């Protein structure tokens, strides 16, 4: 039993008393002595090795005296590991250093049903019997299927209540053990850094009480509602921040296994293209072999530089007989055709409707918007390290679902799932890209040709951008009939877009049948509007020209919120009403509809900010403007105000203010950080983002042709949190949807020019 | 043929071909994996190292170019400026996914070391690294904190908020 090698371990020992139970490096809790029965409540017990004590599915007392909290989600920057530590520490009345997060095992107990339940086509405000029974049934099925996953802004929503309950239950057991030992009522005991203290000064550490506590029957303690506590509602420093600042955090690409080889990969230049053959004509120092995949070639070498050199020299013949010749203009032409055919072309789904839009009267206002394909461009390019033998496989990689990785690796390596080990380091960004696991399957395939030797396959930036699953391009026709006051009597929304979910299901689970239900993501952001719209019709035309599409931060909200909020701005302008006042009137018309009430509260705060911080006039002849957008996504409500300047056709975003209602901000500083992050991510898309296709080829290849927002161009962003007390909403993606429309509306305010295509450029306008 | 230089204060000899990128020699041969691969074209700064005081994109620097020079990676960062910068980074809780952050820390350290009396804006204008998580507000705050602690003045934190 070591001294607990890391500095953190040593600090933890000194600074909290739970460590007092550690004698000579050994934990006082005898192996197997403690029959923790929390497992009965949790339905699963974390595996514990000798000297450890498991407290059910979520918590474990480790040999070094620290509490470990299991996290079935990946940390891709959103800080879910740090949040789990915070919640466990607070429930257990422990200092943060006394708790550390560990990856949860790949078990059904750690399923993430929230992610999939969010996709059911129900109105958020509905509490009807149909919705309740369908959600209940799906929840049960999803828990049995046991799919772990990180996405859809669900990590906190999925695990926070479970971790809190586990921590409160464990604390209750320890408190009752202390109470019995000291013959002092539990409510007279105080907690000091991992120990119980009696009024007369006697103490017992958690580790000392663990054995007694384990004999008690656990009470199913329901924690009190979330409220400001030691860390909750205040925030706490993230334990991963020093690791990342000092360069000690390890990512998938940093995996180093003994004897590891490196592979450089290149894909067929055209979508749907295949590899015919590839050879390396001469011997190149360090190159160990070439792998011919179905649609790629990989060169394996002792260093990545040698692998790259080998790939440069390789003679590759591609088979373009089945390659796509799609170009961006074909996609938009197909969208246009689908929307134009009107009722002759049967829309695949009329997803949401109310009243009869055809009976509405008044002046019609109509507009068409479009948005391009987008790449994820995570800073850490796709990569995975795999070790494959005849009987087992190991993989080290960032990803967004350990369960799917296990399934995929088993298939690619032709070994049983239980012979697959998955090691997940930090993710150098996810944004939905790492939900699609093709890169891991390919790395396993490549390593499978070097059995018994670990091989790390790394995508170059060009390969990363060209082998992506893109945020779909889309086109929407929106129209409304307005009355004498300029208020809409109808709202007709028709979008042409491919289905991300259908494609994802086809890729990830080829045996599953997609298309059972409407793909809600295609209309997320237009569906069940919080505005009072007397009649409405939301239609989806699924148009898929074979370009791979995937989940991209905020998915459908990134499209539909933009189109809807720009159109609302157009209606406000037509009604000669301030955009904030116009939205307030629209919300008032929704009556006591819950989402409208939450949206109205956010809008009030936006108006207060707007009044207190008037737009600064443009400097040196620049045109200045302010724009607004109000969105709901992932059960959270976000309003954004953007101030822009246009200098000689060059658009600059100077300042952004966001008002956020995510129900309750457990870690407010991180909510601010995540919302800023979502906004900057959305700004890259609003200002520059577009992936074009030319005769089946992906056009951009690196950050010169797919630019990211720079430090210089990033606006100052302020974030205001409204704790409405509603059920927890998501946070990781919610900043993104509102920023493009806020900026587009600001451009209109500044110039009178309505830019209806993304990205927002003046070049060709 | 090997290339001799100083890596993080220690004499080092790399066997990697002299024309190959310093980035991969540092990652694969010297095992200093804090140097990150982002674009391979000098566009993003994830691979930033300090060569004789200058922030340098190691992905477009041939190994031969650093012969006889002193190279610092995040693993070997030391000194008063580095301490101020890393502490400021932690205080501002700058990293999210964190992948690009060593590059930012090295760039900031190099720029501030050249003249610790600079303003925040002067320092920020010399940092051209990219962050996909968009941690730019926190990075501006961190640079302000670092300058404040080095200069003992208060004006920079304000400057950082621009």
End-to-end CA distance of chain A: 69
- Whether the per-residue pLDDT at A88 is higher than 50: the answer is yes
d(CA B125, CA B159): 13
Helix segments in chain B, DSSP class H: 22-24, 80-91, 101-114, 120-125, 136-151, 155-160
Tokens of A105: 């095992």
Report DSSP state, residue B29.
Answer: I
d(CA A39, CA A447): 38
d(CA A509, CA A499): 15
Helix segments in A457-540, DSSP class H: 461-466, 500-508
- Whether the per-residue pLDDT at A745 is higher than 60: the answer is yes
Tokens of A367: 């507009």
**A237 contacts B93? CB cut-off 8 A:** yes
Q: Which residue has the tokens 């054995």?
A: A211
Q: Say which CATH class A329-374+470-764 falls into.
A: alpha beta
- Whether the per-residue pLDDT at A722 is higher than 70: the answer is yes
Which tens digits make up the pLDDT trace of A284-299?
A: 889 999 999 999 999 9
d(CA A321, CA A180): 78
- Whether the per-residue pLDDT at A675 is higher than 50: the answer is yes
Q: Is B151 on the interface with A (CB under 8 A)?
A: no
- Whether the per-residue pLDDT at A467 is higher than 90: the answer is yes
Out of B33, B130, B134, closest to residue A681 by CB: B134
Which tens digits make up the pLDDT trace of A375-417?
A: 999 999 999 999 999 999 999 999 999 999 999 999 999 999 9
- Whether the per-residue pLDDT at B162 is higher than 80: the answer is no
Q: Give the pLDDT of residue A21.
A: 29
Residue in chain B lying closest to A236 (CA): B93
d(CA A91, CA A732): 24
Every domain of chain A with CATH number 3.30.365.10 lies at 8-244, 252-322+382-458, 329-374+470-764
Among A8, A155, A247, most B C-beta atoms within 10 A, so best to mutate, is: A247
Share of chain A above pLDDT 90, in %: 77
Q: Is A708 on the interface with B (CB under 8 A)?
A: yes
Positive or negative: CA dihedral A250, A253, A254, A255: positive
Q: Work out the mean pLDDT of chain A and round it to a whole number.
A: 90
Q: Give the pLDDT of residue A41.
A: 59
d(CA A335, CA A497): 7
Q: Is A254 on the interface with B (CB under 8 A)?
A: yes
**B134 contacts A683? CB cut-off 8 A:** yes
Helices A736-751 + A668-687 axis angle, to 10: 50
Report DSSP state, residue B36.
Answer: P
**A461 contacts B38? CB cut-off 8 A:** yes
Q: Is B99 on the interface with A (CB under 8 A)?
A: yes
Neighboring chain A residues of B24 at a CB cutoff of 8 Å: 303-305, 308
Residues 6+ apart with CB under 8 A from A15: A95, A97, A193
Shortest distance between the Cα of B70 and any Cα of chain A, in A, equals 19
pLDDT mean over A665-677: 98
Question: Pick from A430, A434, A432, A394: which is nearest to A412 by CA?
Answer: A394
**A304 contacts B24? CB cut-off 8 A:** yes
Q: Give the pLDDT of residue A342.
A: 64
Shortest distance between the Cα of A250 and any Cα of chain B, in A, equals 8
Out of B97, B127, B131, closest to residue A76 by CB: B97
**A712 contacts B124? CB cut-off 8 A:** yes
CATH ID of A8-244, from 3.10.180.10, 3.40.50.620, 2.40.50.140, 3.30.365.10: 3.30.365.10
Q: Is A680 on the interface with B (CB under 8 A)?
A: yes
Give the lowest-confidence range in A457-461, A525-529, B113-117: A525-529
d(CA B153, CA B80): 16
Shortest distance between the Cα of B152 and any Cα of chain A, in A, equals 23
Q: Give the pLDDT of residue A271.
A: 98
Q: Is A703 on the interface with B (CB under 8 A)?
A: yes
- Whether the per-residue pLDDT at A273 is higher than 70: the answer is yes
DSSP state string for A389-443: -SS-EEEE---S-HHHHHHHHHHHHTS-GGGEEEE--B-S--TTGGGS-HHHHHH
Do residues A157 and A119 make contact, with C-beta atoms less than 8 angstroms apart?
A: no
Among B78, B137, B146, most A C-beta atoms within 10 A, so best to mutate, is: B137
Secondary structure (3-state) at B107? helix
Strand partners, B5: B12
Out of A251, A253, A708, closest to residue B130 by CB: A708
- Whether the per-residue pLDDT at A613 is higher than 60: the answer is yes
Do residues A743 and A629 make contact, with C-beta atoms less than 8 angstroms apart?
A: no
Q: Is A619 on the interface with B (CB under 8 A)?
A: no
pLDDT mean over A687-711: 98
Phi, psi angles (nearest 5°) of residue A172: -60, -40
DSSP state string for A675-734: HHHHHHHHHHHHHT--B-EETTEE---STTTS----TTTPPEEEEEE----PSP---SST
Please say whether the structural domain A252-322+382-458 has been given the CATH code 3.30.365.10. yes
Q: Give the pLDDT of residue A7.
A: 28
Residue in chain A lying closest to B91 (CA): A237
- Whether the per-residue pLDDT at A121 is higher than 50: the answer is yes
Secondary structure (3-state) at B125? helix
Which tens digits make up the pLDDT trace of A216-238?
A: 888 888 999 999 999 999 999 99
Do residues A56 and A46 make contact, with C-beta atoms less than 8 angstroms apart?
A: yes
What band does A31 get if pLDDT is binned at 50, 70 and 90? very low
What band does A344 get if pLDDT is binned at 50, 70 and 90? low
Give the lowest-confidence range in A554-563, A612-621, A687-696, A703-712: A612-621
**A712 contacts B130? CB cut-off 8 A:** no
Residue in chain A lying closest to B82 (CA): A246
Indicate the pTM of the whole model.
0.94
Residues 6+ apart with CB under 8 A from A583: A531, A568, A572, A603, A628, A630
Cα B97-A689-A551 angle, rounded to 5 deg:
55
pLDDT mean over A491-506: 92
Shortest distance between the Cα of A249 and any Cα of chain B, in A, equals 8
Report DSSP state, residue A290.
Answer: E
What band does A348 get if pLDDT is binned at 50, 70 and 90? low
Count Cα atoms within 13 angstroms, Cβ side, for B62. 8
Neighboring chain A residues of B127 at a CB cutoff of 8 Å: 711
Neighboring chain A residues of B133 at a CB cutoff of 8 Å: 77, 379, 429, 677, 680-681
The burial of A552, by beta-carbon neighbours within 10 Å (0-12 exposed, 13-18 middle, 19 or more buried), is given as buried
Q: Give the pLDDT of residue A576.
A: 98
Q: Which residue has the tokens 């790939």?
A: A311
Contact pairs from chain A to chain B, CB under 8 Å: 180
pLDDT mean over A666-678: 98
Shortest distance between the Cα of B55 and any Cα of chain A, in A, equals 16
- Whether the per-residue pLDDT at A617 is higher than 50: the answer is yes
Out of B44, B105, B125, closest to residue A703 by CB: B44
Query: Which residues 63-82 on chain B approach chain A with CB closer than 8 angstroms?
Result: 73-75, 77
Residue in chain A lying closest to B89 (CA): A245
Query: Which residues 292-321 on chain A approach chain B with CB closer than 8 angstroms?
Result: 303-305, 308-309
d(CA A166, CA A160): 10
Q: Give the pLDDT of residue A2.
A: 35
- Whether the per-residue pLDDT at A39 is higher than 70: the answer is no
Report DSSP state, residue A53.
Answer: E
DSSP state string for A574-604: HTT--HHHHHHHHHHTTTT-HHHHHHHHHHH
Q: Give the pLDDT of residue A591.
A: 92
């Amino acid at each position: 039993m070591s001294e607990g090698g890391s500095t953190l371990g040593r600090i933890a020992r000194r600074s909290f008393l739970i460590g007092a139970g550690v004698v000579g490096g050994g934990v006082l809790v005898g192996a197997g002595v403690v029959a923790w029965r929390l497992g009965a409540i949790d339905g699963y017990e974390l595996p514990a090795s000798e000297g450890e004590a498991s407290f059910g599915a979520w918590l474990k007392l480790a040999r070094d005296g620290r509490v470990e909290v299991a996290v079935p989600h990946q940390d891709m920057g959103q800080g879910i590991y740090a949040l789990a530590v915070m919640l466990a520490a607070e429930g257990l009345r422990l200092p943060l250093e006394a708790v550390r997060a560990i990856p949860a095992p790949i078990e059904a107990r750690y399923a993430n049903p929230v992610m999939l339940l969010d996709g059911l086509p129900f109105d958020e405000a509905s509490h009807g019997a149909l919705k309740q029974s369908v959600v209940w049934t799906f929840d049960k099925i999803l828990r049995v299927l046991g799919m772990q996953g990180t996405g859809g802004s669900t990590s906190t929503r999925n695990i926070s209540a479970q971790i809190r309950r586990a921590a409160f239950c464990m604390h209750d057991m320890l408190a009752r053990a202390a109470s019995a030992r000291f013959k002092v009522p539990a409510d007279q005991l105080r907690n000091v850094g991992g120990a119980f203290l009696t009024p007369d000064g006697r103490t017992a550490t958690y580790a000392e009480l663990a054995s007694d506590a384990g004999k008690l029957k656990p009470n199913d303690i329901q924690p009190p509602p979330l409220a400001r506590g030691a860390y909750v509602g205040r925030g706490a420093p993230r334990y991963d921040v020093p690791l990342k600042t000092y360069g000690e955090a390890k990512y998938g690409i940093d995996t180093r296994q003994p004897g590891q080889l490196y592979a450089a990969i290149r894909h067929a230049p055209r979508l749907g293209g295949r590899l015919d053959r590839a050879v390396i004509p001469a011997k190149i120092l360090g190159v160990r072999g070439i792998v011919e995949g179905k649609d790629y070639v990989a060169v394996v070498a002792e260093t990545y530089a040698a692998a790259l050199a080998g790939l440069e020299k390789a003679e590759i013949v591609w088979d373009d007989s089945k390659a796509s010749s799609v170009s961006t203009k074909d996609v938009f032409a197909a969208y246009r055709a689908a929307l134009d055919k009107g009722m002759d072309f049967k829309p695949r789904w009329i997803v949401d409707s109310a009243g009869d839009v055809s009976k509405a009267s008044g002046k019609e206002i109509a507009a068409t918007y479009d948005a391009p394909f987008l790449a994820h461009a995570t800073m850490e390019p796709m990569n995975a390290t795999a070790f494959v033998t005849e009987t087992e496989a190991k993989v080290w990689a960032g990803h967004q679902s350990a369960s799917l990785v296990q399934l995929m690796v088993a298939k690619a390596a032709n070994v049983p799932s239980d012979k697959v080990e998955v090691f997940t380091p930090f993710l150098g960004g996810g944004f939905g890209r790492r939900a699609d696991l093709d890169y891991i399957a390919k790395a396993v395939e490549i390593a499978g040709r070097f059995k018994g030797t670990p091989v790390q396959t790394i995508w170059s930036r060009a390969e990363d951008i060209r082998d992506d699953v893109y945020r779909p391009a889309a086109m929407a026709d929106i129209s409304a009939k307005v009355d004498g006051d300029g208020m809409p009597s109808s709202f007709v929304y028709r979008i042409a877009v491919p289905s991300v979910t259908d494609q994802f299901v086809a890729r990830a689970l080829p045996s599953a049948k997609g298309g059972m239900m409407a793909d809600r993501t295609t209309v997320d952001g237009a569906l069940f509007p919080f505005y009072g719209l007397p009649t409405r019709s939301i239609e989806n035309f699924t148009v898929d020209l074979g370009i791979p599409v995937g989940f991209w931060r905020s998915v459908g909200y990134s499209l539909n919120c933009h189109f809807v909020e720009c159109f609302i701005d157009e209606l406000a302008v037509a009604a000669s009403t301030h955009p904030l006042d116009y939205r307030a009137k629209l919300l008032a018309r929704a009556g006591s509809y819950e989402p409208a009430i939450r949206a109205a509260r956010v809008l009030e705060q936006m108006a207060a900010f707007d009044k207190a911080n008037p737009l600064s006039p443009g400097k040196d002849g620049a045109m200045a403007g302010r724009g607004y957008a109000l969105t709901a996504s992932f059960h959270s409500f976000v309003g954004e105000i953007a101030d822009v300047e246009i200098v000689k056709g060059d658009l600059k975003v100077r300042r952004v203010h966001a008002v956020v209602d995510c129900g309750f901000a457990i870690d407010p500083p991180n909510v601010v950080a995540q919302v800023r992050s979502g906004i900057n991510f959305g700004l890259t898309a609003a200002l520059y983002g577009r992936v074009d296709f030319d005769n089946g080829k992906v056009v951009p290849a690196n950050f010169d042709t797919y630019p990211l927002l720079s430090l210089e161009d990033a606006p100052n962003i302020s974030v205001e949190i409204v704790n409405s007390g509603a059920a927890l909403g998501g946070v990781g993606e919610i900043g993104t949807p509102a920023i493009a429309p806020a900026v587009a509306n600001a451009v209109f305010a500044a110039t009178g020019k309505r830019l209806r295509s993304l990205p927002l450029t003046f070049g060709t306008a | 043929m090997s290339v001799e230089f100083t890596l993080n204060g220690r004499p080092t000899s790399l066997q990697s071909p002299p024309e190959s990128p310093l980035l991969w020699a540092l990652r694969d041969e010297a095992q200093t994996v804090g140097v990150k691969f982002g674009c391979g074209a000098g566009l993003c700064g994830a691979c930033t190292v300090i060569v004789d005081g200058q922030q340098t994109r190691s992905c477009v620097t041939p190994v031969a170019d650093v012969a006889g020079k002193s190279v610092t990676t995040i693993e070997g960062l030391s000194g008063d400026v580095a301490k101020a910068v890393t502490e400021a980074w932690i205080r501002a809780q700058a990293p999210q996914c964190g992948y690009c952050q060593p590059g930012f820390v090295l760039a900031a350290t190099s720029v501030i070391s050249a003249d610790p009396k600079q303003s925040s804006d002067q320092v920020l204008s010399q940092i051209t690294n990219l962050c996909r998580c968009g941690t730019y507000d926190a990075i501006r705050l961190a640079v302000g904190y670092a300058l404040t602690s080095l200069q003992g003045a208060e004006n920079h934190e304000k400057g950082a908020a621009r």
